[in-house]
Amino acid sequence: MQEQKEAVEEQPKRASPIYEQILEVFYAPRKAFKEITKQPKYLGPILILILFVAANTAYGYVILSKSYLEQTLPKVDASANQFDAWTENASLWNSTPGVAITENFVDFINGSYYGNRSISFSTINSSQISMQIMNIGPANCTRPGGYENMSVRVKIVDPQTPPPSNASIYLFSGETSNYYYNLTDTFSSTTAGVWNNLTIPLDTAGWVNNNANADWGNITGLKLEFSWPQQNSNITMLVDGLFFRGLFQTPLDSAGASYLFSYSLSGILQFVIEWIFIGGIIFLAAKGLGSKMKWKAILIPVGFALIALVVQTIVNTIVISTLPSLYYPFEIFGGTAAEQTAAINALSNQVGLATAISGYIQLATLIWIIALCAIATRLTTEFSWVKSATISAAAVGATFLLGLLLGI
């Protein structure tokens, strides 16, 4: 009987189920890592990786569902060198006989979405000038659901005085049907030689319907028209940055699941990189200090330690979910420097508290991972607590800096 009892006692203790080991990392990390380092298995880190990817995807969904990006027509694609396409090509415009239409590469709006030119219109010995572009869109400007505003930059170079006695804009629906809007008051106090930034609301009571067939859901062209009281003026005007805008969509609306997939992929990359680099740095440092540590014996507990990333992501998701809908106007991405700064500051005021909370959560997570990796290092090397904590902090800190450089 005594021999049977001793034989039973000599049998290795059966490992706890993986889910119990993960839970023990929260409330009894030393006990959990003692068992994990004796019988290291990849299943635990793989399960934590799956949890992290799921949490990161949920985090992405919350962010994307709250982020409304302003859509424009024409659409801007900086990677394809496609900017404000309608004011980059003089051949798209026409006017009355005697008006010279050219591209101006010297005087234009300096913004990342405005390209490198404006369109110049000039005539001599005249009291009026018009500029027209057709066959655009068609643009749906119906409220709600369509483009709600039109923006355009206009500069009156000559005559310098007086201001225009009449300024009008026409939006065409088809070839002849149009809407009319009076801009005279807008230019009544304008200064010659200064760019005027016009944002005109669409489908509102300020517009006059000149034809019963006009349809806000089918805008196909526009015309700007200016006149002065003097009969023999030399007139030069510049136009830049013509967009239909005011339509906001989330990335989920415009691109669907592809954005969510990017969050899933970034979650995989972040976890694997942090897992390998933290484990690798600890392993090399321990070896350099004379430890006989085995690679798997430290890699597996480091993978368990990254359960802290799952908690961090879940808490960040909860924080982000408390934010209101966030609207990202055109100016954030492609406005002038001053407009971009103002738009970013306005958005920062909305997310400032959430950003600060996320920063504290990040710091707490790093400290938590350092502590867990220090326990794992001590158990696998029998180094002192100070030496183990130093190695762990160096590994986690270096990996964090690497993540900043890689943007993950």
Dump strand ranges (E) for 118-232: 118-126, 128-133, 149-158, 166-173, 177-182, 195-201, 208-209, 221-227
Give 18: exposed, middle or buried? Use CB within 10 Å, 0-12, 13-18, 19+. Answer: middle
Q: Model confidence over 154-165: pLDDT tens digits?
A: 999 988 888 899
Could you count the other beta carbons within 10 Å of the beta carbon of residue 349? 9
Residue that finishes a domain, picked among 219, 249, 279 = 249
Dump strand ranges (E) for 159-266: 166-173, 177-182, 195-201, 208-209, 221-227, 233-249
pLDDT at 22: 84
What CATH code is carried by the domain that includes residue 150? 2.60.120.260
Rg (CA), the chain: 32
Residues of the chain with pLDDT under 70: 1-15, 78-81, 408
pLDDT at 210: 82
One domain, residues 186 and 163: yes
Under DSSP, is residue 387 helix (H, G, I), strand (E, B) or coil? helix
Residue that finishes a domain, picked among 215, 230, 249 = 249
One domain, residues 145 and 206: yes
pLDDT at 8: 42
pLDDT at 7: 43
Residue 387 lies in domain: 2-70+252-406
Our count of domains for the chain comes to: 2
Helix axes 257-288, 307-321, angle to 10 degrees: 140
One domain, residues 62 and 145: no
pLDDT at 174: 80
- From CA 105, how far away is CA 117, in angstroms rounded? 4
| Residue whose C-alpha is closest to residue 334's, from 240, 230, 215 | 240
- From CA 32, how far away is CA 26, in angstroms rounded? 9
| Residue whose C-alpha is closest to residue 87's, from 139, 153, 37 | 153
pLDDT at 78: 67
pLDDT at 238: 95
pLDDT at 15: 62
pLDDT at 83: 81
3-state helix, strand, coil in the chain (%, to 5): 50, 25, 25
Could you check whether the bond before residue 251 is cis, i.e. omega within 30 degrees of 0? no
Q: What is the DSSP letter of 239?
A: E
One domain, residues 244 and 261: no
One domain, residues 370 and 268: yes
One domain, residues 269 and 215: no
One domain, residues 239 and 272: no
Residue that finishes a domain, picked among 230, 249, 268 = 249
pLDDT at 219: 94
One domain, residues 267 and 311: yes
Residue % of the chain over a pLDDT of 90: 61
- Contact at 8 Å (CB) between 69 and 325? no
- Contact at 8 Å (CB) between 198 and 154? yes
One domain, residues 310 and 336: yes
One domain, residues 59 and 91: no
One domain, residues 275 and 389: yes
One domain, residues 138 and 7: no
